[in-house]
Structure 1
Amino acid sequence: MGRNLTLPVPETLYATYAVALPAPAADPAGLARREVAARTRPPLRDLVLGMLDSPMLTLDQRPAGDFPPLPADLLAAYGADPPDLAAVGGASHLLAVHAAYRPGRPPAHEWSARAVAGAVGAAASAPVIDVFTPQILGAAHLERSLPGPDGAVRLTDWVLLPHTAAAHGFFITTKGLARFGLPELQTEDVPPGVVEPWGRLLNGLARRVLDLWLDELPAGEQPLVVEIPEIVSVGPRDVAAAHGTEERMRREVPVRLGLDASGPPALTVLPADDGPDLEALCAALFQSHPRPCR
């Protein structure tokens, strides 16, 4: 039986989006309210309008040169199209959308800031930048990522999986769990042939860990710390849920989480105990022979 990990709970979480405007908006707040009311479905619309009418969400419009430059190289690395990059580089003004909220359900800071930036961006035909990533969000991606009437979202629209080559394989980490107050997941020395299936496993694990985290953050008084299991099982159902689909298969494999505090806090993902290596875990989870993973 594994032990528990104790994770600190941030007091407040923040979200920032930027809209690269070709010309300044005469009344950014009024434009945001009109466009959110027209483009956003309830119940999200009510949440966003409530945030707009509170100090928890602010709009800051300035000439583009008054803000720190947006990192064009990172925007390109995360898939920005040349026309969008050109529009960002040629913007006369930026509208920064900032939101703050406590950890827990719903992540009102992220949902509201993204909805406001998306509504203003659509009205002005202007690119929307998720500053956290950083990533330019296409209109279809942005609309799809927002919750429907049941509050469900695809976690893969909010959490990315960048990977970099290292001496003994690849380093894979999530980028997005920090939006919800969690440390990011990471694995070192992932063999080249396992990058794709291990990434899928990490997507499912991110969904499982996020659910465990949010279940410990009830509405009301905010705890200072939360405990989650050190050993967590992940299965095809979790992988499917992270992508917004369903899977009936209940097969699972266990992994061990270790808190790495050598830099920004992260959760290192390893096989549980003396269990199978990454290749064998991929094969067991996705029911493929381990040899193709090499």
Structure 2
Amino acid sequence: MGEVLTLPVPEMVHGTYAVAAGAPPGDPMELAREQVTRRVPAPLRELALGMLGSPLLTLDLRPAGKFPPLPTDLLAAFGASSGQVAEVSAATHVCAVRAAYQPGWPPAHEWAARAVAGALGAALDAPVVDVFTPQVLDPDRLWRSLPDERGHTRLVDWMLLAHTEGPAGFWFNTKGLARFGLPELHAEDVPADLVEPCGQLLNGLARRLLDLWVEELRAGQRSAFAELPETVPIGPADVAAAHGAPDPRETRRDVRVRLRLDTTESQALLTVLPPGPDAADGVAGLCTRLFG
């Protein structure tokens, strides 16, 4: 198929983190600079410090009651322990770490904001909330998710796969691609026994789409729109890449996935479909063909 999807390119993308503190620091900007210098390795340290000294990254410290309440029910649903929820609920002050950057690679807004929030959280012994997903990031997970000295990350550390049971199977929505300016992925009617394979399929597809998106943005010289293919091949190598693992080097079992852009008042989604419009096995068939 030669069809393409024409997607709008946002002028800026944003990252927001909340440090839920039991006591306020005297000067959050000074503390952030000190702790980033101490705790964040190069070259990410230089990126974070550079953005801290610019309008691209801001710190907003207020009493907790001056912010909208953090969604503790969703935090619990997305993996926070009862202890973490209690810590967030008991916070007297919240420091919002907000960053903005143009879409593309690297996602400096996310890397810098998460690094700064992590450094502040470590200094204050306070939980860090990724407001986008929303999730509480425990320290090990937070630091592991940040880029290494070569700029490598695992996409799965920046993605959430939310699924709910529907009348004909499970519905999936990713939360993570919007960090990079892309619509999120959506899949419907996934049988219960294919929930895990479908999650891996979506991880691999997200990795492939992000690569195509970054390549298109580099070639487009800041155009207002970018074109991606409507049908995308993915295989085990893409799934491995999403986890930061090497190509498994096994016999190729690529499948072709068709994407449909669906727009509502609140968001745009890329719905995952089999390649042929008449295929009856849907996403389940894609999982079976990819994973056997």
Shorter-chain TM-score tier: over 0.9
Q: CA deviation at 1:135?
A: 0.5
The 5 A counterparts of 1:154-173 are: 154-173=154-173
SS at match of 2:217: coil
Q: Residue 26 of structure 1 aligns with which residue?
A: 26
* Gap runs ≥5 in structure 1: 289-294
CA distance, structure 1, for counterparts of residue 242 and residue 34 of structure 2: 32
TM-aligned CA distance change 1:23 to 1:201, over 3 Å: same
Residue by residue, what CA displacement relative to the aligned partner does 1:256-285 show, whole Å, maximum 9, x if unpaired? Answer: 000001341000000001457233322221
Maintained 8 Å contact 2:220/2:226? no
1:260 is matched with: 262
Task: Give the fraction of aligned pairs with identical amino acids, expressed as a percent.
Answer: 61
Shift of 1:219: 8.6
Aligned length: 287
Q: Which amino acid aligns with 2:261?
A: L
**Secondary structure class of the residue paired with 1:216:** helix
Which residue pairs with 1:283 in the alignment?
A: 288
Unaligned runs of 5+ in 2: none
Q: Secondary structure at the match of 2:10?
A: coil
Letter paired with 1:253: V
**Aligned residues of 1:104 and 1:219 also touching (Cα < 8 A):** no
Name the structure 1 match of 2:136. 136
Cα deviation for residue 231 of structure 1 reads 0.4
Q: Secondary structure at the match of 2:98?
A: strand
How far is the alpha carbon of 1:102 from its aligned partner? 0.4
Question: 226-235 or 266-275, which moves further after superposition?
Answer: 266-275
Q: Distance in 2 between matches of 1:102 and 1:157?
A: 21
Deviations 1:173-207 (A, max 9, x none): 11110010000000111122211111110100000
TM-score, length of structure 2 as denominator length: 0.95
Whole-angstrom distance in 2 between the partners of 1:199 and 1:25: 40
Which residue of structure 2 lines up, in the alignment, with residue 94 of structure 1?
94
Give the letter aligned to residue 264 of structure 2: S
How far did residue 51 of structure 1 move? 0.3
Q: Which residue of 2 aligns with 1:201?
A: 201
Match of 2:273 in 1: 270
TM-score (norm: length of structure 1): 0.95
Aligned-pair Cα RMSD in Å? 1.3
The whole-number CA distance in structure 1 between the counterparts of 2:48 and 2:57 is 9
Alpha-carbon separation, structure 2, partners of 1:83 and 1:167: 34
Matches within 5 A, 1:44-83: 44-83=44-83
Partner of 2:5: 5
Deviation at 1:87, TM superposition (A): 1.0
3-state SS of paired residue (1:222): coil
**How far has the Cα of 1:12 moved from its partner?**
0.7
**Is the CA contact 2:257–2:273 (under 8 Å) kept in the aligned structure 1?**
yes
Distance, in Å, in 2 between the alignment partners of 1:104 and 1:280 is 32
